[in-house]
Structure 1
Amino acid sequence: MLSSNEMKIEDFIIIWLDENMNEHNEYYRDSIIQLRTIVNSLKTFNDNNQCIDFLTGVINKNVFLILSNTLTKMLVPLINGISHLDSIYIFSNAVLEHQQSIKSWENIQGTYNNISNLVKKLSIDVKQSENDLTPINMISASSNESLDEISCSFMYSQLLNKILISIEYDEKAKTKFINYLHNSYADNKQELVATKQFEKGYKNYSAAWWYTKESFIYAVLNAALRIPNVDIIVNMSFFIKDLHEQIKEVYMQKKETENLTLYRGQGMSIIDLENLKNCQDGLFSFNCFFLSTSRDRDISFLFADSARQKSNTVGILFTIEIDPSISTVPYASLKDISYYSKKQNAEEEILFSMHTVYRIGHIKQIDNNFWAVNLILTNDNDVQLKLLTARAREELGGVDKNHALVPLLLKMGEFKKAEEVAFTLIQSTSELNLNDTMHYSFYLGQVKYVVGDYSTAFSYFEKAISIAENCFSSNHSALALFYNRIGLCYDSTDNHSAALLYYEKALNIQENNLISNHPHLAATYMNTALAYVSMGNYTKALSFYEKAKSIQEEILPPIHPDLATCYNNISKIYCSMGQYKAALSFSEKVRHIREKSLPSNHYSLSTCYDQIALIYEKNGRIFNSTFVL
């Protein structure tokens, strides 16, 4: 069995099925060692059914399958349509049978009669798949301040990068990562040796040297985003910062003054290609920490051409245009700083740092399953990118960069990691540093509130409030935030009177210090309204919802999801009060927003239609069933 850590640390697995498999046999044992130099996760079988059961149950990993010759004809037709089965290799010392039928099957990469040739081919194919699996993010040119599900993912990944490189790391960060690797590679002696070399020699070489060396660093870091695995990302953040700083330093020393054209070839799913065509002129990024490109078009062309040979995949040749006079995004040639700098650099590789963002230019087909896409590096003052970044920061509560990682992890749904990071930070914070202690206590309260551990949440919120009340003036904005959160905690435990007291405290601060249409005011009005709804005081609730609505209609785009939430809550109140005409009017507004901004099968649309149906039913009328999903 593969350990849970081994299953998570990489996103590839080799499965080897051979009826004579015996891991205690010297030949098989040595072969396994060689294969695990390519991919750490490896599983062997000598039973067909067990192998198929395991193969079909693999999640979030691409599979490279090795079969003995005698099993091929029977097994391949049964597994040929499995989506995560990347490649099949026939491995046998015997004379190969049924060669013609083998050629007609998908995913068969070749037949091999010695382990060295097989390892060489597998190594090439895994690198190609790593390249092809680089995830992409894109946003249409019309997306601005409204953060829908797609743009949230895009912008939170951008913010994560900025936060990671702003944190100060010490030797403990590297030690924690090393311990993580030791646990993950416990059964792989060669990777443990490499880990030991990294531990002892990290300071002797540059981050770029380690990144380009044939080792676990490159594979683990890029797999962390593809899987995704926030645990690995946070553990490797010290290295991410070091490599970013090195690229930035090289960029500043050798800054280009003339326009530059670079290339990248990779595979892409047909669905992603269609999305790309629909986002022409929009924003685009490769969802990797460090993007490899080349000055050599021919090398990139070969990568793209190789990718299109796979089923359901098209080859994409990206042409990347850079105008150094309008962009300061750091990138660096690896010519003098990589592990191979004194050996070879045939690709003329250029490495971009940290989720570089581009504009999507022209897209054209150049051959069957082969497309050319032009990307233009974004201007430092790109209006759309600035608006989305500002909106994403606002969604995090506008916290400064030193305290932003935990709320970002919460927004991303990484509650366990958010708690771990917050707890680590509070443990390492001096008792004299009350500002940090206050923030981390608040975030731990947030985590506990989200997972429903209200008693622990109360204790953390109360600690944060106690520090704030002693250190700040009575109208400090932090207190308003803390009062709001502990109010929500009281609401969740059905103590609505206590919740209202804290909401009132928050409003006293906000109404005296914020502009009248500030979004934080709208949020507190919404919280207050919800408490009154729970107490059955619909008139009071409606008055606070109306205040929130007035602000949101003034500051938010007309199809923003927060507006839909507000309208939906108002509709429910009118329905409870028997005012069905008003209830229907607001539910129709909800429907309009959600039909404009959500996929047709989104659950929020279903609940919207259910609410409209309920209003018609209570009013003794028949709902138009064509709206029902």
Structure 2
Amino acid sequence: MKKIEDKFFEESQRSLISLDRRILTEQREINNNFTQLCLQSTKLDLKESNDSDISILWLTNADREIDNMNVKIFHSNNHLIDFLSEIELSNVFLIVDHEFLSNILSFLDDFKQIIFIYIFINENILNNSVATESKRSIRQISNNQTELFHSVREDIEICRKDSISSTIFDLLTNEESSTQSQNRSFIWFYLLIENLFNFNVNNDKSKDDLIEYCRQQYPPTDYIEQNLITQFEKEYSSENAIRWYTRETFLYRQLNKAFRMRDIDAIFHFRYFLFDFQKQLQEHYKENHSIQIVYRGQSISQLELIKLKNSVGKCISFNTYLSATLDKRVALMYVVGLSSIFFEIDVSFTSKLKDKRFRPVYVEDQSQFPEELEVIFPICSTFFVDSIEMIDNQWNIRLKLTDTNDYSQIIDSIETTSFENLPSKLKFPNLFLLLSDNEKAERYTNMLIEDHQSPLDPSSLGLIYTFLGQIQFEKCDYQSALSYLKKALDHIDTNNNPYCATIYIHLSYLYREERSYNIALDYLNQALKYKNEIDLIKLTDLYNAFGSVYKEMKEYDNALYYVNQSLEICQSNFVIYPRSFVAFLLLGLIYMDKHEYTKAIQYLQDSLNLSLKILPKTNQELIILYTAIGFSYSQSENSSLALIYLQKAYNLLEINKKNQKLNPQIYIYICYTFGLFYDMNLDGTNTFRYIYEAYQFYKEYEITISRTTPMVQDIYHMLGNLYHNRCDYTLALEFLSDTLKYSMDRNTQILIMTRIGQVYLDQDDEKMALQYLNQSFELISKTNQSDIEDNTMFWFYSRMSKLYEHKKNFEKAIDFIKKAFELQFNATNKNSVSLVDCFRQVVAVCHGRDNNYIEEIIKNLQIEDFSINSKLHFYRTIAHYYLGVLLIYANSTNSQLFEIACRSLLQTPTTRGVMNTNTRKHPLFLTFKKDKPLTNSKKPLSSTLTPNSSLVVPTNTQTGAYKHPQNCIIYILT
């Protein structure tokens, strides 16, 4: 009976629902297994249905009947994102019910297929700030379905004709509702386009690529466009790039479509033309041209108009080349009614622009339509919004051409910290590495080798091979990374060459991941020889690398020394200060390892604040930061904040996973951390779910991820423990033994041996239990006592106590549990679950003094400053004790005593406190054996109750005890 009660208690502890479950609202629910997809498609005709690249989607929580429209209906945020990630459609018109908007809007920016978003509301909503502050092109808000679909039809026609040549790309509003992260999308799009102009490789091949791409955009039967493509292939030259752009042809439409969608792969196909076009624009600029004002007219939606109104006094930028005219009458031809707007653009600042590439160019003599007096603004040109007002029943907006001053500091920081001393041609692929898009980074880097018209010199090849090694490292393909880095060393002069330091640092990362720490340190010491020759950024990288290796070695003093050296350099130099986000991150991770979570959160938050300013939101460093902060909050027993940060990490994870931009170790790390979070909150079901998911993902990538990686070791260890808690002893022993086989950490080895001993003890195999516990004792004896953690000794003492209890040697059992109790109660960070186990064991072995120890627990609860969750764990233990008393009565021959005991229990102040604490009416005690269902008998309590009867106490007592088959007792308190 005692063993049954022990297993009941352990399982109930794992399955209890956290007090902080109130924060698991629908918006924050972490759910890997997507809810059932409700995806419907009407079969009615639509004029646009012959456009295979046009799709209408609707995210709604209602069943919709739609006439004459081919619309796909979704009832789940996750399934919509999943669908968008997989389809190849290039023009999506998305309708979203207003109640979904706040949860999904920020993530829709990652899907370039979306042309417009429409918001459907069921009633008038006064505050549409979520929609109007969005940087997405929200086209319309309406509570009229017919009106909404009329707008969709019109916009599809406009899209097909491609008359929307430019859209507002970015306003100075906050992404993620934080000033720290505003306008990162603009900055990174700007950097990609800017560095694309430096990525000029084989012209013949790039021309063939453009021709082939454009032909694929039109069916072979579209003779008009196919013939124009043929004409371009035969007649185009760099001198007539402007003329071809101003013609109403495939080139203008497809290029602006790619820009409008910010599809960098599509834009890349146009690199052959863009180099010529940009070069001709710059050559055609006339310094002495006295242009002061230009004009533009275009249609605009009401929400875009609202966004422009909100941007007065701020800057906007366009994600396409922007056409304007010197002739006001030409611009007014494009202004029709209140759905249009008239731009008056002051370009008097042109001569003062720092970057000459952004100067607008008057192209009259080169244009296909010289009578339009066309002026072209280069892509990403920035304008100050001076005013917007209604004049003569027409919206007028005044813009001033300006520098990107609002972004220049951040752009300079990124270029300084990420591109310093990097060859111009490598900057473009390096951006994709920073965007965590390893596939594109690798593809464009290989293109430098394959498409280069003449053989690259050894030094350039050395740089490229180093970069390819870095990419493979990010992909966890360590063997390929090592191969490339060795090639890099073979192609450069290693005699007093400071660039060797860069390669040595990357090699140290490789050997750190392989846990070959001494080899890693050897490479870092070789790099240190170039300390006086390398720049400050590379020196901070070197110190951070030292810190990361020492962190993994658990030599925290050395780790802190080197990382603080890096931080000191960053903080003493304004230009590279943003680079300190790496040092802050490492400091946070070090203090996490040291279990100093308050300090950890401080440094991790500092790192996050800097990262949000300069990193793209798809960068996997942000996933690590959100996860680490969430875990630190969970360890500090702040479940609300923990879940908020973990949810942010999970959302970024899903975006990266769908776009196949995922480092497998990142995914494993997040699933593992979620498992730890739920383990802290005693949610055994979700703990197992996420730990097992981490295990499955590791098995998928086990060829590239070392089995000895600490996180993988922890996953195996936790699975062994979880299977033990589930009484699946075979799998428990399999995972625990596998962990022991690869473990190199002495504390972990001792913990696993004592756990294996407990598994055998639970199977009544005292011989094997004693064997493993003795082995753990031998390890303890051979280890320097200062190297053994208190938690390790606690579990050794606790399990030794259970062994001697099993052997009926209560004197030794008491001796060991007292040692365990003393260690845990005096610990700096008390573990309430461990203390609960101590109290239970004390009560179990100290027969006749049970009530004295229960009173001692209650006394300590009143004195000690435990968290609410910790107190609840203790109250459950106390309630379990009293329910154990009930169990005796329930199985006694005089079963009438059971009802008396129940009523007595309810009058106990301690147990009343338990029930009052749990205001959400979930069970305080609920466990089951082998996942068997519990049947609820409605029979009233009677004097004929026997030990095998189903039992329910009358509802006025609010207490129930259910008899489960196979002698497993289930208690419920509601």
The alignment's TM-score, normalised by the length of structure 1, stands at 0.70
- Who is 2:586 aligned against? 569
Pick from 156, 173, 183: which aligns with 2:188? 156
Residue 235 (1) aligns with residue 269 (2): yes
Paired residue type of 1:588: Q
Residue 531 (1) aligns with residue 549 (2): yes
SS of residue paired to 1:130:
coil
Query: Alpha carbons of 1:589 and 1:86: their partners in 2 closer, same or farther (altered >3 Å)?
Result: closer
CA contact (8 A) 2:294 2:327 kept: no
- Who is 1:321 aligned against? 347
CA distance in 2, matches of 1:234, 1:508: 41
CA contact (8 A) 1:415 1:447 kept: yes
- Who is 1:9 aligned against? none
Query: Alpha carbons of 1:195 and 1:451: their partners in 2 closer, same or farther (altered >3 Å)?
Result: farther
Query: Alpha carbons of 1:104 and 1:227: their partners in 2 closer, same or farther (altered >3 Å)?
Result: closer
Pick from 309, 322, 328: which aligns with 1:291? 322
Structure 2 unmatched runs, 5+:
1-40, 57-65, 75-79, 96-117, 122-135, 639-827, 831-864, 870-974
SS of residue paired to 2:496:
coil
Cα shift at 1:297: 4.4
Cα shift at 1:243: 1.0
CA distance in 1, matches of 2:43, 2:220: 20
CA distance in 2, matches of 1:210, 1:475: 48
SS of residue paired to 2:529:
helix
- Who is 1:498 aligned against? 519
CA contact (8 A) 2:215 2:229 kept: yes
Paired residue type of 2:148: E
Pick from 332, 339, 349: which aligns with 2:368? 339
CA distance in 1, matches of 2:363, 2:52: 27
Cα shift at 1:218: 1.6
Cα shift at 1:463: 0.9
- Who is 1:105 aligned against? 147
Query: Alpha carbons of 1:147 and 1:85: their partners in 2 closer, same or farther (altered >3 Å)?
Result: closer
Cα shift at 1:60: 5.8
Pairs within 5 Å for 1:167-178: 167=200, 169-178=202-211
- Who is 2:91 aligned against? 61
Pairs within 5 Å for 1:342-381: 345-346=371-372, 348-358=373-383, 360-366=384-390, 372-378=396-402
Cα shift at 1:354: 3.6
CA contact (8 A) 1:128 1:303 kept: no
Paired residue type of 2:496: S
SS of residue paired to 1:469:
coil
CA distance in 2, matches of 1:264, 1:281: 21
Pick from 434, 437, 440: which aligns with 2:461? 437
Query: Alpha carbons of 1:367 and 1:480: their partners in 2 closer, same or farther (altered >3 Å)?
Result: farther
CA distance in 2, matches of 1:437, 1:147: 41
Cα shift at 1:206: 1.3
Cα shift at 1:184: 4.2
CA contact (8 A) 1:407 1:418 kept: yes
Residue 452 (1) aligns with residue 486 (2): no
CA distance in 2, matches of 1:326, 1:566: 38
- Who is 1:396 aligned against? 418
Cα shift at 1:212: 2.2
Pairs within 5 Å for 1:86-235: 105-108=147-150, 126=160, 130-131=164-165, 134-138=167-171, 149-166=181-198, 167=200, 169-186=202-219, 189-190=222-223, 191-203=225-237, 206-235=240-269
CA contact (8 A) 1:62 1:85 kept: no
String of CA shifts for 1:100-136, please: whole Å, max 9, x gaps: xx9962342699xxxxxx9xx97656557623x6242
CA contact (8 A) 1:292 1:349 kept: yes
Cα shift at 1:175: 1.0
The alignment's TM-score, normalised by the length of structure 2, stands at 0.47
CA distance in 2, matches of 1:279, 1:461: 51
Paired residue type of 1:567: F
Pairs within 5 Å for 1:30-49: 41=53
Paired residue type of 1:482: I
CA distance in 1, matches of 2:528, 2:212: 47
Pairs within 5 Å for 1:396-545: 396-398=418-420, 399-429=422-452, 430-431=454-455, 433-470=457-494, 473-476=495-498, 478-509=499-530, 511-514=531-534, 518-545=536-563
Cα shift at 1:248: 1.8
Cα shift at 1:378: 2.7
More strand by share: 1
Cα shift at 1:236: 1.0
Paired residue type of 2:441: A
CA contact (8 A) 1:264 1:319 kept: no
Cα shift at 1:183: 3.8
CA distance in 2, matches of 1:49, 1:624: 58
CA contact (8 A) 1:491 1:531 kept: yes
CA distance in 1, matches of 2:302, 2:457: 50
- Higher RCO structure, 1 or 2 (CA under 8 Å, sep 6+): 1
- Who is 1:51 aligned against? 70
Structure 1 unmatched runs, 5+:
1-14, 22-30, 66-78, 88-101, 112-117
CA distance in 1, matches of 2:604, 2:394: 42
Query: Alpha carbons of 1:536 and 1:305: their partners in 2 closer, same or farther (altered >3 Å)?
Result: farther
CA distance in 2, matches of 1:458, 1:156: 30
CA distance in 2, matches of 1:592, 1:319: 41
- Who is 2:279 aligned against? 245
Query: Alpha carbons of 1:136 and 1:272: their partners in 2 closer, same or farther (altered >3 Å)?
Result: farther
Query: Alpha carbons of 1:556 and 1:611: their partners in 2 closer, same or farther (altered >3 Å)?
Result: farther
CA distance in 2, matches of 1:238, 1:573: 48
Cα shift at 1:391: 1.8
Identity %: 19
SS of residue paired to 1:136:
strand
Does 603-612 or 174-183 show the bigger shift?
603-612
CA distance in 2, matches of 1:243, 1:206: 8
CA distance in 1, matches of 2:237, 2:42: 38
Paired residue type of 1:391: S
Cα shift at 1:326: 1.9
CA distance in 2, matches of 1:43, 1:154: 26
CA contact (8 A) 1:262 1:321 kept: no
Does 327-336 or 223-232 show the bigger shift?
327-336
Query: Alpha carbons of 1:176 and 1:479: their partners in 2 closer, same or farther (altered >3 Å)?
Result: same
CA contact (8 A) 2:54 2:92 kept: no
Question: Over the residues paired in the alignment, what is the CA RMSD in angstroms?
Answer: 4.7
CA distance in 2, matches of 1:269, 1:458: 56
Query: Alpha carbons of 1:586 and 1:264: their partners in 2 closer, same or farther (altered >3 Å)?
Result: farther
Cα shift at 1:468: 1.8
Cα shift at 1:242: 0.9
CA contact (8 A) 2:262 2:319 kept: no
String of CA shifts for 1:443-464, please: whole Å, max 9, x gaps: 2223222222221122112111
CA distance in 2, matches of 1:110, 1:577: 57
